[in-house]
């Protein structure tokens, strides 16, 4: 882990690479913030929240070589060890149980909890809509390596899922297409949201409750899990 | 003139001269056409992008671990990876350059040059991207276009190679800018030119 070249956080130098490094470490500690290299209110709040675990006076700043930085790096090492001990597992490659894969096998690894959640949701979906399969795309590589061209999909807790079609065909679909089934997709979203492990769902159909709209999500749901 | 969605195209030369003649430009700002200018070749150039991808029939139930060959030609306005099967995100694409001779006379001894510039920056932040030095993509052999005809030239761009070269540094080629000049062989003054941007969209 490279050291910081300048401070990050409130009134910090906030070099892009430094902010990105801190954001990644904060996320490794479970912050759940955007990794965009920009130090906005979300990043500062996350620094303060992290400092609050062990400091009475969180200042929202990470200094090079400082206590917050050292703790973040140590924490990352612990997380890495934990991840190694709890390696990602492969989404079972089946075309039954209510789902099929549309990404190569090496891109379909996740944490045990993530895989369990996906399989569970798909089984419930299959009971509600027999013969209709959920399409699961990119998740993570087995070792959490960078998955180009994704910015995320490294934690084993992300999964791309196609919206559901009206005709049951194993084809892509966009929420504006005539073959798009809002009813079935809403049911899928509801099943996901009912899972304690599901943190957020990005999708652009404004008629579906509880999804977050985000550019580039007309033809897939990006599901993020907590663990 | 063809302008595709998501692209900017600029054309000069004979096309501009013809447009000016039709619209009645300000006489003070317009040179009186000389015999030579009136005889100038009326050329236009159009730049598009194309690649091979799966057909709709191939996409249905496609086995991602054993995909069929991509053999359907598709037009591209941009590269994106929102659905890796349904939305083309080819490793290699063609820059399709079409030169039009709109005049009544054939034009010979033409040469086309094309260059590409990449706008490269952090994968997670396009606003930090900067332009890299132009790279030559194509210099054609001299050719002739008969009257009221067109001539097509293709130059290949390996997108995957560029992405792979940038990946270790968490960088991404956010935009590819193609600049094309159509010249008379031996001349440095383009008879027609075009500049087109091709967005390359990373995924979340």
Decide if B129 touches A, using CB distance below 8 A: no
**Distance between A62 CA and the closest CA of chain B, angstroms:** 21
Assigned domain for B14 exists: yes
Q: Do B125 and A37 touch (CB under 8 A)?
A: yes
Residues B182 and B162 in one domain: yes
Residues B129 and B152 in one domain: yes
Decide if A150 touches B, using CB distance below 8 A: yes
For chain B, what is the domain count?
Answer: 2
DSSP annotation of A33 = -
Between A and B, how many CB-CB pairs are < 8 A?
Answer: 85
- Which residues form the domain of B24? 1-30
The fold of A89-225 is Muramoyl-pentapeptide Carboxypeptidase; domain 2 (3.30.1380)
Q: Which of A117, A156, A119, A159 is nearest to A137 (CA)?
A: A159
Residues B8 and B50 in one domain: no
Buried/exposed A119-149: b ≥16 CB within 10 Å, e otherwise: bebbebbbeebeebbbbbbbbbbbebeebbb
Mean pLDDT value across residues B16-25: 36
- Tens-place pLDDT, residues B120-150: 999 888 999 999 999 999 999 999 999 999 9
- Tens-place pLDDT, residues A5-64: 999 999 999 999 999 999 989 888 878 888 899 999 999 999 998 888 778 788 999 999
* B179: number of Cβ within 10 Å: 17
CB neighbour list of residue B54: distance below 8 Å, 6 or more residues apart: B62, B67, B68, B70, B72, B85
Structure-block tokens of residue B82? 């929102």
**Distance between A210 CA and the closest CA of chain B, angstroms:** 19
Question: What value of ipTM does the predicted structure carry?
Answer: 0.75
Residues B94 and B146 in one domain: yes
Of A158-172, B33-47, B49-63, B174-188, which gets the smallest average pLDDT? B33-47
Assigned domain for B48 exists: yes
pTM of the model: 0.72
Between β-strands A221-225 and A198-202, what pairing exists: parallel, antiparallel or unpaired?
antiparallel
CB neighbour list of residue A52: distance below 8 Å, 6 or more residues apart: A58
Beta bridge partners of B165: none
Residues B90 and B122 in one domain: yes
Partner residue opposite A216 with nearest CB, options B59, B80, B89: B80
Structure-block tokens of residue B52? 């091979």
- Tens-place pLDDT, residues B75-134: 999 999 999 999 999 999 999 999 999 999 999 999 999 999 999 999 888 999 999 999
Q: What confidence score (pLDDT) does residue A83 get?
A: 58
CB neighbour list of residue A80: distance below 8 Å, 6 or more residues apart: none
- Domain holding B140: CATH number? 2.60.40.10
Residues B22 and B55 in one domain: no
Side-chain-facing half-sphere of A133: CA atoms under 13 Å: 17
Decide if B4 touches A, using CB distance below 8 A: no
Instruction: Identify whether the C-beta of residue B110 lies closer than 8 Å to the C-beta of residue B145.
Output: yes
Assigned domain for B68 exists: yes
DSSP annotation of A37 = S
Decide if B73 touches A, using CB distance below 8 A: no
Partner residue opposite B125 with nearest CB, options A36, A172, A222: A36
Of A30-39, A195-204, B158-167, B185-194, which gets the smallest average pLDDT? A30-39
Dihedral, CA of residue B98, residue B53, residue A180 and residue A93, to nearest 10: -160
Assigned domain for B36 exists: no
For CA atoms B41, B46, B51, B56, give the dihedral sign. negative
Set of chain B residues whose Cβ sits within 8 Å of the Cβ of A170: 60-62
Is a pLDDT exceeding 90 seen at residue A84?
no
Q: What confidence score (pLDDT) does residue A80 get?
A: 66
Give domain limits for chain A.
Answer: 8-84, 89-225
Is a pLDDT exceeding 70 seen at residue B40?
yes
Residues B11 and B101 in one domain: no
Instruction: Identify whether the C-beta of residue B80 lies closer than 8 Å to the C-beta of residue B89.
Output: yes
Q: Do A217 and B204 touch (CB under 8 A)?
A: yes
Q: Which one of 3.90.320, 1.25.10, 1.10.101, 1.20.1270 gives the CATH number of domain A8-84? A: 1.10.101
Mean pLDDT value across residues A67-76: 87
Rounded-to-integer distance, Cα B166 and Cα A92, Å: 32
Mean pLDDT value across residues A99-118: 96
Decide if A177 touches B, using CB distance below 8 A: no
Residues B7 and B53 in one domain: no
Rounded-to-integer distance, Cα A31 and Cα B185, Å: 61
Instruction: Identify whether the C-beta of residue B73 lies closer than 8 Å to the C-beta of residue B110.
Output: no
Residues B104 and B20 in one domain: no
């Amino acid at each position: 882990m490279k050291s910081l070249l300048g401070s990050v956080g409130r009134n910090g130098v906030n070099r892009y690479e430094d902010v990105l490094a801190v954001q990644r470490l904060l996320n490794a500690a479970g912050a759940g913030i955007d990794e965009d290299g920009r130090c906005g209110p979300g990043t500062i709040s996350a620094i303060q929240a992290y400092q609050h675990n062990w400091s009475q006076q969180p200042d929202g700043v990470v200094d090079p070589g400082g206590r917050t930085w050292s703790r973040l790096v140590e924490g990352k090492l612990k997380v890495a060890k934990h991840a190694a001990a709890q390696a990602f597992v492969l989404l079972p490659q089946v075309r039954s149980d209510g789902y099929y894969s549309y990404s190569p096998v090496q891109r379909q690894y996740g944490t045990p909890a993530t895989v369990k959640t996906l399989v569970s949701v798909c089984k419930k979906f299959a009971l509600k809509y027999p013969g209709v399969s959920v399409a699961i795309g990119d998740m993570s590589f087995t070792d959490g390596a960078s998955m180009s061209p994704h910015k995320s999909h490294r934690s084993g807790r992300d999964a791309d899922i196609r919206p559901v079609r009206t005709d049951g065909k194993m084809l892509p679909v966009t929420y504006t297409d005539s073959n798009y089934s809002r009813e079935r997709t809403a049911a899928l979203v509801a099943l996901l949201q009912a899972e304690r492990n599901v943190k957020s769902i990005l999708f652009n159909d404004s008629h579906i409750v509880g999804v977050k709209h985000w550019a580039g999500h007309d033809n897939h749901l990006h599901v993020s899990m907590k663990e | 003139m063809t302008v595709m969605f998501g692209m900017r195209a600029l054309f000069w030369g004979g096309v501009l001269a013809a447009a000016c003649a039709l619209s009645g430009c300000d006489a003070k700002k317009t040179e009186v056409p000389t015999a030579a200018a009136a005889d100038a070749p009326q050329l236009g150039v159009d730049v598009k992008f194309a690649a091979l991808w799966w057909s709709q029939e191939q996409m249905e139930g496609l086995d991602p671990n054993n995909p069929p060959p991509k053999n359907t030609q598709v037009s591209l306005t941009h590269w994106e990876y929102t659905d890796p099967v349904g939305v083309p995100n080819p490793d290699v694409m063609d820059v399709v350059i079409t030169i039009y001779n709109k005049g009544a006379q054939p034009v010979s001894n033409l040469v086309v040059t094309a260059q590409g510039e990449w706008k490269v920056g952090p994968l997670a932040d396009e606003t930090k991207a900067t332009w890299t030095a132009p790279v030559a993509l194509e210099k054609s052999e001299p050719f002739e276009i008969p009257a009221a005809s067109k001539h097509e030239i293709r130059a290949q761009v390996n997108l995957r190679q560029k992405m792979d070269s940038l990946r270790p540094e968490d960088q991404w080629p956010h935009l590819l800018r193609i600049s094309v000049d159509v010249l008379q062989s031996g001349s440095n003054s383009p008879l027609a030119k075009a500049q087109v941007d091709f967005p390359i969209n990373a995924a979340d």
